Structure 1
Amino acid sequence: MHHHTSETHQYHQNDIPGTNGLPILQSQALTREQVFRCIVPTCSHLVHLPDDGILVAWLDAKTGKSHSVKTHVAYHNTALSCRAALRAQGYDLFMDLSDRATRAHWLLIVQRWAGERAATSPHAGAPSNNTYNQRLAILSSLFVYARRQQLYQGDNPIELLERRKVYQYAGAQAIDPLEMRKLLATIDRTSLGGMRDYALLSLALHTGQRVGALGEMRVGHLTRAGGTSLQVMFPRTKGGKTNARQLGEETSAALSSYLEQVYGPRWTTQGNAPVWISLSRNQSRGQALSVQAIEQICARRLGTSKAHVTRHTAAKTLDQLGISASEIQDFLDHESLATTGRYLKVLKRAEHKYSRDLEQIFGISTLSKGGVRSDGDH
């Protein structure tokens, strides 16, 4: 067996601190169980070989394709969580499902698992239909890979489970531009936390980027674009693409001021240091903000924990300014114009362009011709 020198391994070695080039697979024959730390530093799972062999190969292929640590962790968590649910009932992920009763029970376990909130989740209630479908899609990907590599001889049982109806962008909400302006103005930028939050939200609004891409920003992704402006190269946007955006002077100034407070006047030399750091009084201080931490900033500053609100607000504001749908498509990194059209339609659904006309026709007014009557008048 070869040393693990795939593109994924090289990516982790070069781009992610703390890897130390640790391979998952070793050259000696697997005659007994061997346990290794997952090659992705932010993934807390241990790898048990040879038991996890198919999972390791699948994860390596998926991470190598997307170059996303977030994708790896999500896939690893999902696969192990489902396998644990199956093993608790005496089943397993890869097993003989030719018996109808066995297959029916196996499918029921997986279906229930996909529709239950994870024990570690901070949220209550059942997960969204989108989460349910995503879990099944991840598992289906595992079976497709295993069959293609001839590591599993059965069919793909996940195809038998029906997906749930999802209304695309149903939760998309935008904040009125004037209201957003007021919210940004209330941030006290005399503190480091205020400087960070203002720069983060300003850049999010200015670029329309997803929270995952914002969270993975490193100082080395920022370069001078002439004058005082900065350019940011988002390393891994959706689909594994890179995306360069030039920032305006004011956004660049807010970001530069914050980074100078964190790393000093020579902040541009910090390379792989995170742009958005935790200021908590615990072991996470100084480390990169997690997606959850960015959501908490949005909740505190904007009144909603949905970090995509900045993306939605930027898109809707561009539409109100008369920017063409094709340009907004490019701004949002959408693959198709149809996707952008559906997106904007949802964002505008709460608008009532006939509201004033109907008020005038029906005579709806805050004033009463007869004045205000006392409670005793009938």
Structure 2
Amino acid sequence: MKRPRSADLGVSITRFFEEYLPEQRGMSLHTIRSYRDAVVLMLQFSARDCRRGVEQLSIRDFTAERVLKFLKFLETDRHNGIATRNARLGALHVLARFLAFERPEHLATLQRVINLPFKRGARDAPIEYPDGAEMNALLESIDRTRPAGQRDYALFALMFNTGARVQEVLNLRRRDVRLDAPCQVRLLGKGSKERLCPLWPATARLLRDLISLRPASDADPSDALLFTNARGQQLTRFGVRYLLRKYVAAASHAAPTLRSKHLHPHSLRHGTAIALLKSGVDFATISQWLGHASLNTTMRYARADIDLKRQALSQVFPDALPPPKGGRLMINGAELIPWLRRL
């Protein structure tokens, strides 16, 4: 019996996510979820545009004209920026290439989708991050007398120490953390690339206390997740975002400058990079520290901080600006080289 055309799209999309992206392309779970979101939005829009159910869509409905209408919908109805719009289109490009290989009879239609250009004009938004005083205020706003507060304090301290992406931290298990000298954590980043990051003694103590207060229920304690919710399940990125917003609001009384910043979990990663730069750590080391695929990604932090701009100006024109004043969160960059030599 011949399979209906609508079933072909469903089978192909299933293979796209279950086989092609993770196995053939080796994409991380975070990237696959981003592609999933783009495809789900496109399917929902196409169903409305075709006035049919999602289950009735076929590859024939995946046209360049409909994708253009979808991209316009993202900008006008969902108020997405150019960068988000281009990211969604990039995911649809990959899907179209996969479908063209799977179903060559639709090659002409899918080639038109693949050839849709990205929109020019996207600009890097200013990087927002907590400075030293703001980060200290955020941590001080956490009630550490409660188990949840101890977890949250250790979570945000670890994120700022390592500059790790939020999902990298949430995926950590006890076996990934070494709390004896030299203290370090093993992070699994984009493309399943592993990297080691040093832990400051204070961070190691926080993690040691957290583990001692949370006995593992698994047969193998080393396999237990480091950060869990009240039900013992893994914290989510949305949960971390909620916690950060709560503590930023509480800390804004002690650090009023937080009120003008729109911080999210990735902002702590930015703060780590800026703090390391101010401590004199070179760009190549910071790039390895943060797990950047390219040094160009790290270089943008040189343009993000006004103090670094002042330092550059004072090197060229020493009398133009006085040295910057004010307290900074001290990250001891001098400890990094000895730590690397001990590995």
TM-score, with structure 2 as normaliser: 0.74
Question: Looking at both structures, which has the greater relative contact order when contacts are Cα pairs under 8 Å and sequence separation is at least 6?
Answer: 2
Aligned: 1:232 with 2:185: yes
Does the 8 A contact of 2:166 with 2:237 survive in 1? Answer: yes
- Identity across matched positions, percent: 23
Q: Number of matched residues? A: 295
Q: CA deviation at 1:149?
A: 4.0
Aligned: 1:112 with 2:67: no
| Secondary structure at the counterpart of residue 233 of structure 1 | strand
* Corresponding residue for residue 242 of structure 2: 296
> Against the structure 1 CA distance between its residues 270 and 232, is the aligned structure 2 distance closer, same or farther, given a 3 Å change threshold?
same
Using the TM superposition, name which of 55-64 and 337-346 deviates more: 337-346
TM-score, with structure 1 as normaliser: 0.67
* Corresponding residue for residue 196 of structure 1: 151
* Superposition pairs of residues 333-372 of structure 1, within 5 angstroms: 333-348=291-306
* Corresponding residue for residue 250 of structure 1: 202
* Corresponding residue for residue 286 of structure 2: 328
| Partner residue of 1:184 out of 134, 139, 163 | 139
Structure 2 CA distance for aligned equivalents of residues 311 and 338 of structure 1: 16
* Corresponding residue for residue 63 of structure 1: 22
Consecutive unaligned residues of structure 2, counting only runs of 5 or more, are 52-56, 250-261, 323-343
Structure with more of its chain in helix, by fraction = 2
Structure 2 CA distance for aligned equivalents of residues 311 and 183 of structure 1: 15
Q: What code does the residue aligned with 2:233 have?
A: Q
Structure 2 CA distance for aligned equivalents of residues 153 and 277 of structure 1: 47
Does the 8 A contact of 2:46 with 2:61 survive in 1? Answer: no
Higher Cα radius of gyration: 1
> Against the structure 1 CA distance between its residues 66 and 300, is the aligned structure 2 distance closer, same or farther, given a 3 Å change threshold?
farther
Structure 1 CA distance for aligned equivalents of residues 248 and 61 of structure 2: 51
* Corresponding residue for residue 307 of structure 1: 265
Does the 8 A contact of 1:86 with 1:109 survive in 2? Answer: no
Structure 2 CA distance for aligned equivalents of residues 318 and 312 of structure 1: 10
| Secondary structure at the counterpart of residue 329 of structure 1 | helix
Does the 8 A contact of 2:64 with 2:112 survive in 1? Answer: no
Structure 2 CA distance for aligned equivalents of residues 322 and 51 of structure 1: 53
| Secondary structure at the counterpart of residue 89 of structure 1 | helix
Structure 2 CA distance for aligned equivalents of residues 114 and 253 of structure 1: 46
Does the 8 A contact of 1:234 with 1:243 survive in 2? Answer: yes
Consecutive unaligned residues of structure 1, counting only runs of 5 or more, are 1-29, 34-47, 118-124, 280-284, 361-378
Aligned: 1:167 with 2:123: yes
Q: CA deviation at 1:320?
A: 1.1
Does the 8 A contact of 1:174 with 1:347 survive in 2? Answer: no
* Corresponding residue for residue 107 of structure 2: 153
Q: CA deviation at 1:326?
A: 1.7
Q: What code does the residue aligned with 1:276 have?
A: F
> Against the structure 1 CA distance between its residues 332 and 127, is the aligned structure 2 distance closer, same or farther, given a 3 Å change threshold?
same
| Partner residue of 1:132 out of 69, 74, 85 | 85
* Corresponding residue for residue 168 of structure 2: 213
**1:143-163 deviation line (CA, Å, top 9, x unaligned):** 112223444422141532542
Does the 8 A contact of 1:212 with 1:291 survive in 2? Answer: yes
